[in-house]
Structure 1
C-alpha cells in the first residue's frame, strides 16, 4: 500500500459492555447501541462538517437478525448522518471492529477519503454465537487439517492449554487478576473518558391494568467485573469444553453486548475543521494460524504489526490483548515475552466482556485514551480470531 497521508483518530468512544442474556442490554437492539456510539463520537468533534464524512465501516461478527441487513448503513441513517454517508458491514469475527478501524485508516492513507467512521457492534443477547441457522460445509470433515474450522472456541482453548502447557491454576490466577484490575480501574474512574453512558429502557406489562410499565436507568460502567471472584471460587467450576479439561466459564471471556465508534481524519481535514487528534494510526497486521489452535493468532500478528510500524516490542507502552480465554492469553504473553504489567492494565474480556465484532473498536478506544491518561507514546490492540487468525493494530499518541 502506497501511503500518501496519515490517518488520525479524532474521536473514540464506546458504550458500556453488558452481560448477554441477563445483563442491562438484554432488551436493547444492537442498532440502537450502534447509534448511541455514533452520535457520541460525532459529539466529540462539533466543528466537523458531517457532509465531509466519506463512509462508515462497522464490524459485526454475526451480521444477521437484529444486526443484519447491513447494520452499518442502518446505523448511519438512524444516527442522523447525511444520506451521502455510505455504510458497509465487515466480518473478521473477533477482529471485526479492529479491521473496521484499519480499513477506514487505509482509505485515508491512500488518499481516497479525508474523514471516515469506524465502528463495531454486537448483541450476543439477541443473536446467538453461531447465528440462528449455522451450516458448516461437509467437506471440511474430509481432511483432518480442516476439522479445526468446526471446533468450538472452548475446545481450541483446551488444545492451546495442552500444547503450551498452561495449567488450570495459571488460568484461574490470570482470571482473578483480570477482575482485580478491572474493578480497580472502575474505582479510579479510568473508563470515564472512553465510555458514553447509555439510558436503558425496560418495559413490562401490568396484566391487571393493561398498561405498559416503563423503567429507565442510566448505565455507565461495564457490567462484568465481579468483586467476589477468587481463586477458591474459580477452582470449584467444572471444565465445560473437555471432560478432563482446564478451561471453565470463569477463565473464559464473557459473552456480551456493546458498541464502539471512532472517527478518523486526514491531516488536511484536521486543519480544515479545527480537530484535535487523539492518536495516529500506525500499522495493522492479520495473520492466519491453524484453526484448531486459533488462540495463538496474536503470536503471529503482533510481530508483523511491529515490523510494519518499524517498532520493537519494547516500544509499546500499553497492550490491549483480548482475553478470549486465559489459556490463549497466557500462551501469547509467554511466547512473545510480553510484559504482564503492560498487558490489560485495566482488565480484559474475562472481566469486562467480549461483544465479538464490537471488541476491536471498544479496545481501540481504551488503548487510545490510555495513551493520554498516562502520557504514553504507543499502544496496541490484538486478538485471536475464530477459525484461525490473529490481528494487531498500533496507535501513536499525538
Structure 2
C-alpha cells in the first residue's frame, strides 16, 4: 500500500487540474464577460461555448496522438497556449481579442487534458489518480469562487486565474516522462459490438450533458439576477457545491455495482432533472443553494455509471471513448443553449425545458442500462474524464 502512495503521478494530477479548471469556472467566467465587457447574456454564453468547443476539439485531435508527439512536449504546448490565450484575454477589453484568447486558451486546456487523460488511462490505478485530480480542481475552483468576488470587478480575474494555474503547472511537466506508462492503443478489429445500444447511449448522453451545462453556464446569473444574491454569496454556494461534487465521486466509488445500472442511471437522472428545475426557479438563497448543491452531488454519481455502462458495451473501450466524445459536444454547446433559452423564456422556463429533456433522455438511457445489466461492470468505476462537466462541468 505504501508503494502505491509513493508512486502517485503528481505531474498528471497537476495537469488534470490545469486542464479542467476552465469548465469548472464557467459560471463566473460567463457572468463576468457579460458584466465586464457589456456583452449580452447570449454573447457571453457564445464565448463560453467557443472556449469549451475549442477544448473538446483539442481532445478529438490529440487523444490518439500523445505518443507520437510525446507527453512532455504536448503538455508544455498546451500550457503555453493556455497562458497566452487566457492571459491575453484577461488583459484586454477588445471583444474580438477576448474571444480569440479564450478560444486559444480553450485549445490549450484541451491539449493538457488529452495528455493527462491518456497518462491516467495507462495507470494501474486510474480511479485513484482521477480522484486526486478531481480533488485538486474542485479545491482550486472553490478557492477562486471564494476570493475573486473580493478582488474587484472585471472579466480578467477568472481568466487570469486559469492562466496562472497553467503557468504554475509548467515546471512539473519535466517529470512527465517518468510519471507512468501511456496507454497503449488497441487495434480496432471488426465491427463495434452492441452498435444500436452504443449509438442510442451516445446520442442520449450528448443531450444529457447539454442540459447539465446549459444550467451550469447560467447558474451565476440565476443567483445574481433572480435570487438577488451577492457575488460573494453565489461564489460560496458554488464552492460548497463543488465540495459536494467531490463527495459524489467518492460515493460513486463506494457504492460500486451494488445498485446495478438501470436504477442509478434512470432514477439518478430523474432526480437531477428535479434539481435543475429547482435551481432555475430559485428566488432566494435556500432554494438556490439546495438545487445547486444537490445537483452537483448527484451529477458525478450518475455520470460514473453512464461511463461504466458505455465501457460494458465493448471490452476494448471503444464505446467509452465515443460516448465520452459525444458528451464533450453536449458540454460545449451548453453555455450558448442556456443563454438562449434563458433570454427567450426566462430562467424558470429554461429549467422546466431542461428538466423535461432530461426525463425524456432518461428513458433510452435506462433501456440501454437494463439491456446491459447482465454484463459485469468494468473494474474502473469512475471515468478518467469525469470533469468534462465540470464540471465538467469536470467533467
Query: Hey, which of these two has a bigger chunk of strand by percent?
Result: 1
TM bin (shorter chain): under 0.3
Q: What is the TM-score with the length of structure 1 in the denominator?
A: 0.26
More helix by share: 2
Structure with larger Rg: 1
